[in-house]
Amino acid sequence: MEIEVLEGVFDANEIIAKENRSLLDGSGSFMVNLMASPGAGKTSVIMKTLEGVAGALNCAVIEGDIAGKVDSEKIAATGVPAIQINTGGSCHLEAKQVNRALNRLKLEGVDLVIVENVGNLVCPAEFKLGEDLKVMILSVAEGHDKPLKYPLMFSESDVLLVNKIDLIPHTDFEMETLEQTVLRMNPGVVIFKISCRTGEGVSDWTDWLKHRVKAGA
Amino acid sequence: MEIEVLEGVFDANEIIAKENRSLLDGSGSFMVNLMASPGAGKTSVIMKTLEGVAGALNCAVIEGDIAGKVDSEKIAATGVPAIQINTGGSCHLEAKQVNRALNRLKLEGVDLVIVENVGNLVCPAEFKLGEDLKVMILSVAEGHDKPLKYPLMFSESDVLLVNKIDLIPHTDFEMETLEQTVLRMNPGVVIFKISCRTGEGVSDWTDWLKHRVKAGA
C-alpha cells in the first residue's frame, strides 16, 4: 500500500489546486490569478478587462480581500457574477478558498474566471490556485526597481501589466530599466503598458487575453 | 516549578521583542518600525528623515528585504550605519532577525534606529519587533480606500505618513475621506502629509520625530 506524505502546506495546497484545474477543465473555463501590491489597480484592471472582453467572453470574478466587500459589490453592479472571499487576516489566497468559490459559481458557460488575489507582492506568488495564467500588475508609482526586491512574483508571472502609465511624467519611473530587469529574470513574460484611468493600452491587453482564452479553453 | 507554554509563533516572537526592548532601553535608543506597501516610498522616507534629524540625532538603519541590498547601500553611502536583513522569501520581519541586527550594531550613542520592514501592508503589522513607534506610509497612488481593506495595519500604526502628495492633482485621491476613515479606526493616530520628491511637509514629520525621540529616550 502506498502512503502519501504531505510535505506541509504547499503540497496540500497543490492537491486542491489540481482539483480546481479539473473543475475548470470540466466546464472549459480559463482562470486568471491576478496579483499586485495594494493600490496597484487590481479592481480597476478587472473592471476594464470585463468591459474589453464583453460580448466575446462570459466572465465571473472571485474577489480575495482580508476584509470588506467593496470590490465584489462594484463588480456585481456591472452584472458579472462575483464571489467575495474574506481571508480574515491571511495575506494570500489558497487553493481551498478558491475551490469553495468555484463550487458556488455556476461554471457551465463561463469562459473566463478572474481571481483577484490579496494585495501583496510576496506570498500570493507561492500558492498555486489551479490557474491558467498568472498576471501581475505593477503601478508606475511603485517604481521600476521592484523586480529586484520581489523577485519571485516577477519571475512567476506570465503577464506583467504596467499600470498608471499616465503618471510617468510626474515620477522618476524608467520603463526601459524595468523591462530589461524583468525580461532578464523572466524571458517569457508578456508585458503590457496600460492606464486604467485614460484607457491607454488596455485594448492591447484585452485583445491578447481574448485570443489566449479562446486558444486555451 | 512553572512551565511556560508558548502559544505558537506570535508568543515566541513577543519574547524576543521584549529582549530587543531591553537592548534599546540599555543604550537609550528609540526604535521606529517603518511599514508600507512595495513602492510607497519607505527608503525615500528614511533618506529624508535622516537628513531632517541630522545634527540632532545619531541614527542607524536596519533594512529588511526579501532579497537584495540596494537600499542598505544607498543609506550606508550617506555615512549612517546600515545593516541589511534578507528574509529569503518571508513577507515580514520577525523580532529575532532584528535582534541579530541590533546585536551587530553598536547601539551605544545611537538615538534612533529606523527599521525598514518588508514591503507588505498585511503581515508586518502582526509581528512586534520591540519598537517604540509603528510608522506606516500610504502612497497617494495607492488610493484612499486602503484602510478598509488592510484594517490591521491602519489600526496598529502610531503614525501615518501620506506620501507622494505631489501626485494628488493627477489622481482621484480624496484626502478628507482617507483621514475620516483612518481616524474612525484609530483615533490616536498622528497623520503627516508629505512628498519626498518635492520635500513638502517632511520637516513637520521630522520635527515631530525629534521631539518624540527626545521625550521617549
- Contact partners, residue A137, CB within 8 Å, separation at least 6: A34, A35, A36, A40, A41, A42, A45, A160, A161, A162, A163
The DSSP line for B25-94 is HHHT-EEEEEEE-TTS-HHHHHHHHHHHHTTT--EEEEEEESS--HHHHHHHTTT--EEEEE-TT-SS--
A100-127 pLDDT per residue, tens: 999 999 899 999 999 999 999 999 999 9
Of B120, B150, B167, the CB nearest to A170: B167
Nearest residue in chain A measured CA to CA from B119: A121
The pLDDT of residue B6 is above 70: no
Write the ipTM: 0.82
Hey, how many other C-beta atoms are within 10 angstroms of the C-beta on B109? 10
B90-113 pLDDT per residue, tens: 899 999 999 999 999 989 999 999
Cell readout for B169 is: 492633482
- Inter-chain residue contact A67 with B118, CB threshold 8 Å: no
- Inter-chain residue contact A37 with B141, CB threshold 8 Å: no
B chain contacts of residue A141, beta-carbon cutoff 8 Å? 39, 139-142, 164, 167
- Inter-chain residue contact B120 with A118, CB threshold 8 Å: no
Question: Which of B37, B154, B167 would you mutate first to test chain A, the one with the most A CBs within 10 A?
Answer: B37
pTM of this structure? 0.89
- Inter-chain residue contact A39 with B139, CB threshold 8 Å: yes
CATH homologous superfamily for the domain B11-216: P-loop containing nucleotide triphosphate hydrolases (3.40.50.300)
Exposed/middle/buried for A59, CB within 10 Å: 0-12, 13-18, 19+? buried
Q: Which amino acid is at A166?
A: D
- Inter-chain residue contact B141 with A146, CB threshold 8 Å: no
- Give the length of chain B: 217
Q: Which amino acid is at B66?
A: I
Of A121, A123, A140, the CB nearest to B119: A121
A64-108 pLDDT per residue, tens: 998 888 888 999 999 999 999 998 888 999 999 999 999 999 899
A130: left (phi over 0), alpha (psi -120 to 50) or beta: left
